[in-house]
């Protein structure tokens, strides 16, 4: 059943609204924001609350703090708050703590339309522990809870589960980004336009077992790329040279191949390198991969074959690059698939993480119907798993 959203709230003017977002943006080694996509995606929810006169208390984690204040300085939320201020075009306040008296005073000082960003949630040990006392401290800051963090809905962090559980006497709704993610992905599961073509890449079969099984139960064709290709090839008894392979997953690969039959397509040619490096010597080989060579990307015949399947699709869902796209010699497969999706008349859905990063780096994200903000959450939702972050949100009747 659909979740209630901020649009279902009768009034937010003057209300203290706790907004859980996913501002876990990639950072450069100096701590600068390398990509602000996750901040931009949440703007509609925050702008709506600002326009309606809410007192918005924005909270997120950032990175993987170690507990060392000096080492963790790069993960403070100051740069994120500043970027949000630039994007909103209005002042954004920043608290230097997650909870405590100073935060309570900052919240009490908010006027309608103000925005306050809390310090990195993971600076407090209670966040990852799902601690109930910590959650109550956060919950006491707000009169309404809004979850707009689809990318972390598969986590059991306190701000995702224990906080809305502690606020069951108050409104708990989805933000506009989360609502859109659920709408698109639910439609994909329940009523996709046919043919449904799945594209899966990335390094490991083991990272996507449930996702692969779910897709194989739904798709008309599954196109495989990335390093997982070579686990499937070896499971078929074919030579993969020195390519990366999960030898402990060969039986699983055989099981998936048997389940798929002719619906699973593997690359018919490959870009190979004499070492897995951007400055390696490369060539294209068809069929099996010679000894001493590393498979690094799908080849030109496979690019065209996959593009042809995308052209005839009614719906395409893609998660995982076709090769090591960060290195120019091995980016052509991922680029070709991205362009095929951008040119397609199908409903096109791209999973988060590296795939979204790749599509955006090619300047094609605006030509994809839906680019998800979730990586792990995207995979788990489409695998049929329960997302803990949705459990305590109110349902629309």
Active site residues: 38, 204, 353, 376
Q: Euclidean distance between the first and final Cα of the chain, in Å?
A: 8
């Amino acid at each position: 059943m659909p979740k209630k959203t901020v649009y279902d709230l009768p009034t937010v003017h003057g209300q203290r609204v706790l907004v859980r977002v996913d501002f876990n943006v990639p950072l450069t080694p100096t701590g600068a924001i390398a990509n602000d996509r996750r901040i931009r995606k949440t703007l509609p929810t925050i702008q709506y609350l600002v326009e309606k006169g809410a007192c918005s208390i924005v909270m997120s984690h950032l990175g993987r703090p170690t507990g060392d204040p000096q080492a963790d300085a790069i993960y403070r939320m100051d740069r994120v708050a500043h970027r949000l201020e630039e994007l909103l075009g209005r002042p954004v306040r920043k608290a230097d703590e997650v909870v405590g008296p100073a935060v309570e005073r900052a919240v009490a000082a908010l006027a309608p339309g103000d925005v306050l960003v809390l310090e990195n949630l993971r600076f407090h040990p209670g966040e990852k522990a799902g601690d109930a006392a910590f959650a109550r401290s956060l919950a006491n800051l707000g009169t309404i809870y809004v979850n707009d963090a689809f990318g972390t809905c598969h986590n059991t962090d306190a701000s995702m589960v224990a906080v809305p559980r502690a606020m069951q006497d108050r409104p708990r709704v989805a933000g506009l980004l989360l609502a859109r993610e659920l709408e698109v992905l639910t439609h994909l599961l329940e009523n996709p336009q046919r043919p449904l073509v799945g594209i899966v890449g990335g390094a490991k079969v083991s990272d996507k077992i449930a996702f692969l099984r779910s897709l194989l139960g739904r798709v008309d064709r599954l196109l495989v790329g990335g390093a997982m290709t070579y686990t499937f090839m070896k499971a078929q008894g074919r030579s993969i040279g020195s390519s990366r392979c999960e030898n402990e997953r060969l039986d699983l690969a055989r099981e998936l191949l048997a389940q798929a039959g002719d619906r699973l397509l593997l690359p018919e040619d490959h870009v190979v390198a004499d070492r897995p490096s951007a400055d390696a010597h490369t060539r294209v080989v068809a069929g099996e991969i010679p000894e001493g060579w590393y498979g690094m990307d799908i080849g030109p015949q496979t690019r065209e074959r996959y593009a042809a399947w995308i052209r005839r699709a009614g719906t395409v869902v893609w998660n995982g690059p076709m090769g090591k796209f960060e290195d120019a010699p091995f980016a052509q497969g991922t680029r070709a698939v991205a362009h095929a999706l951008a040119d397609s008349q199908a409903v096109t859905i791209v999973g988060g993480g590296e795939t979204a990063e790749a599509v955006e780096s090619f300047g094609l994200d605006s030509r994809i119907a839906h680019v998800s903000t979730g990586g792990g959450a995207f995979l788990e939702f489409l695998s049929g798993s329960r997302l803990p972050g949705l459990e305590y949100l109110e349902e629309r009747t």
